[in-house]
């Protein structure tokens, strides 16, 4: 059975303006690969309801899971929860269990649960909460869309709460081989290998080190034995080329 | 006149599997903001022709420019140039000026212009070459799509060749103000300010420092005077809150 598929939607003007360098995409990509879920697309959109709704309506039917990051804080530009509700055409309001979580948290920290913070308890109807062990305000899952915070420490904590609940497939395994040759010298042996092992994905990543070209070759697949066989083949092929 | 708009398409399995952390998005975002082009969407897709063609057909009509990174090297998984040609329905073949560039480069470095390397001279009909001062193999622009390499040093060099040729608008300016208060305490004054200055974009970015919450507030717009007025207003509003 093929692995479940996924897309990610990163929401935030600050990524698109270059002010902030996103790190959640790289974190999610690694975590999903280890869990056996194939991340097949990422989109980054601004804090605009039409952009979020459009992306959710395109991605939700196309993949098994959609993970979002950003836009669920207390300020006026935090419009993700309302946009997700709009995308699915369901009502949204302050939910009592979410309000209770926030109330207890702010009582503990001596802060005031004002109207702005209460917005973080707005949850679309039919959603399930995602636990936030860092700063309490929860994320949520609605249908196959999992809505999480943009602050990396919170995103990572929410993902750690969520991921064990999702069924994964076979984790993607990899073997890496370094060749001290430019990519152009090993392209033809690599194409041969790719034809020989159609079930593996074979990527080549050139680098420059001390002024000399080299290439990392990465074999990916779910079966260790096929990977090991392909790796042996690769070593033989590239030794031949190096001479 | 509003600024030109742009989207970016990042092509590469290695980003989606978490093996490589993309840095071209952040670089492009900053460069476009300084040049007065508004980056409004980013997509990341795998090395699969249907995914690349689908994204190009969605993005090219929707934005003034589309910038791509990745997939233009000599190996079997480098399918970007052919996919762009397919997206626009134009033929693609080795082009003599691109071949001459490669021939001169490899003659100089004592390497062989083999069949794999010659693939880097495949250019869709009607395209304009983008200069690559790092490793010679050119990028290209076809209609409003600018196709560049994935290796960050090469991507950045190609972008530096290309960007002066594109008409920019007013550079996006910003003012940043730090408040040592959690986001939830300043959300309401910020919403007031956002209503007062509809032409500005006002973002708030929470942080934790030595166990205490704080917020960076970033005002963005193209007019310095409006930004300065809003900044004064912001300082007054948040001083009131801090007491």
pLDDT tens for residues A93-146? 999 999 999 999 999 988 899 999 999 999 999 999 999 998 899 999 999 999
Query: How many domains does the structure of chain B reveal?
Result: 2
**Do A42 and A155 belong together in one domain?**
yes
- CA–CA gap between residue B114 and residue A184 (Å, rounded): 8
Report whether A202 contacts A142 (CB < 8 A): no
**Within an 8 Å CB–CB cutoff, is residue A43 touching chain B?**
yes
Q: Which residues of A touch B208 (CB under 8 A)?
A: 153
Where residue A199 sits, what CATH number does that domain have? 3.30.70.600
- Percent of all residues in chain A with a pLDDT value above 70, rounded to a whole number: 98
**Do A160 and A74 belong together in one domain?**
yes
Contact A15 B29 (CB under 8 A): yes
- CA–CA gap between residue B174 and residue B224 (Å, rounded): 8
Q: Which residues of B touch A119 (CB under 8 A)?
A: 187
Q: H helices within chain A, ranges in order?
A: 13-16, 24-35, 49-59, 80-88, 96-109, 115-118, 152-162, 183-196, 224-242
Contact B75 A204 (CB under 8 A): yes
**Do A137 and A33 belong together in one domain?**
yes
- CA–CA gap between residue A87 and residue A106 (Å, rounded): 31
Where residue A91 sits, what CATH number does that domain have? 3.40.980.10
Q: What is the pLDDT of residue A85?
A: 98
- CA–CA gap between residue A162 and residue A166 (Å, rounded): 7
* A165, A194, A220 - which closes a domain: A165
Residue A241, pLDDT > 70, answer no
**Do B148 and B31 belong together in one domain?**
yes
**Do B138 and B221 belong together in one domain?**
no
Backbone angles phi, psi at B19, to 5 degrees: -65, -45
**Do B225 and B152 belong together in one domain?**
no
Question: What does the pLDDT average to over A190-209?
Answer: 88
**Within an 8 Å CB–CB cutoff, is residue A13 touching chain B?**
yes
Tokens of residue A51, six digits: 């952009």
Q: Which residues of A touch B17 (CB under 8 A)?
A: 29, 33, 39, 172, 174, 220
**Within an 8 Å CB–CB cutoff, is residue B102 touching chain A?**
no
**Do A135 and A212 belong together in one domain?**
no
Q: Which residues of A touch B15 (CB under 8 A)?
A: 25, 29, 42
Contact A184 B116 (CB under 8 A): yes
The DSSP-derived string for A65-132 is EEEEES--SSSTT--HHHHHHHHHT--EEE-HHHHHHHHHHHHHHT----HHHHGGGEEETT-EEE--
Backbone angles phi, psi at B75, to 5 degrees: -95, 170
- CA–CA gap between residue B8 and residue B25 (Å, rounded): 8
**Do B160 and B178 belong together in one domain?**
no
Interface of A with B in 206-225 (CB under 8 A): 206, 208, 218, 220
ipTM, 2 decimals? 0.89
**Do B160 and B177 belong together in one domain?**
no
Contact A17 B26 (CB under 8 A): no
Q: What is the pLDDT of residue A196?
A: 93
Residue range A149-179, pLDDT digits in tens: 999 999 999 999 999 999 888 888 889 999 9
Residue A242, pLDDT > 80, answer no
**Do B159 and B222 belong together in one domain?**
no
Q: What is the pLDDT of residue A158?
A: 96
**Do A161 and A182 belong together in one domain?**
no
Tokens of residue B109, six digits: 């470095």
- The alpha carbon of residue A7 is apart from the nearest alpha carbon of chain B, in Å, by 10
* A101, A132, A165 - which closes a domain: A165
Q: What is the pLDDT of residue B170?
A: 84
Q: What is the pLDDT of residue B242?
A: 46
Average confidence (pLDDT) per 10 residues, chain B, 243 residues: 93 94 96 95 97 98 98 93 98 97 92 93 98 94 97 94 90 90 90 92 84 88 93 87 47
- pTM of the predicted protein model: 0.89
Q: Given B19, B43, B220, which is nearest A43 (Cβ)?
A: B43
**Do B37 and B118 belong together in one domain?**
yes
* A165, A197, A225 - which closes a domain: A165
Note down the domain range covering A159.
5-165
Q: Given B16, B21, B41, which is nearest A43 (Cβ)?
A: B41
- CA–CA gap between residue B9 and residue B142 (Å, rounded): 14
- The alpha carbon of residue B32 is apart from the nearest alpha carbon of chain A, in Å, by 8
Most A CBs within 10 A among B137, B184, B241, hence the mutation to make, goes to: B184
Tokens of residue A43, six digits: 């989109």
**Within an 8 Å CB–CB cutoff, is residue A202 touching chain B?**
yes
């Amino acid at each position: 059975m093929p692995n479940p598929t996924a897309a990610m939607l990163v929401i935030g003007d600050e990524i698109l303006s270059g002010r902030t360098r996103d790190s959640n995409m790289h974190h999610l990509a690694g975590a999903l690969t280890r869990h056996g879920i194939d991340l097949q697309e990422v989109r980054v959109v601004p804090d605009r309801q039409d952009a979020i709704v459009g992306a959710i309506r395109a991605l939700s039917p196309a993949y098994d899971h959609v993970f979002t990051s950003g836009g669920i804080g207390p300020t006026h530009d935090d419009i993700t929860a309302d946009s997700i509700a709009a995308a699915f055409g369901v009502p949204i309001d302050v939910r009592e269990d979410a309000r209770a979580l926030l109330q207890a948290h702010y009582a503990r920290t001596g802060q005031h649960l004002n109207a702005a913070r209460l917005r973080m308890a707005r949850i679309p109807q039919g959603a399930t909460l995602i636990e936030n062990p860092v700063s309490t305000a929860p994320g949520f899952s609605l249908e196959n869309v999992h809505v999480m915070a943009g602050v990396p420490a919170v995103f990572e904590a929410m993902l750690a709460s969520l991921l064990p609940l999702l069924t994964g497939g076979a984790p993607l395994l990899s073997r890496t081989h370094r060749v001290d040759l430019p990519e152009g010298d090993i392209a033809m042996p690599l194409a041969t290998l790719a034809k020989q092992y159609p079930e593996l994905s074979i990527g080549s990543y050139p680098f420059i080190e001390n002024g000399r070209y080299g290439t990392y070759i990465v074999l990916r697949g779910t079966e260790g034995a096929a990977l090991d066989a392909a790796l042996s083949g690769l070593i033989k092929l590239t030794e031949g080329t190096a001479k």
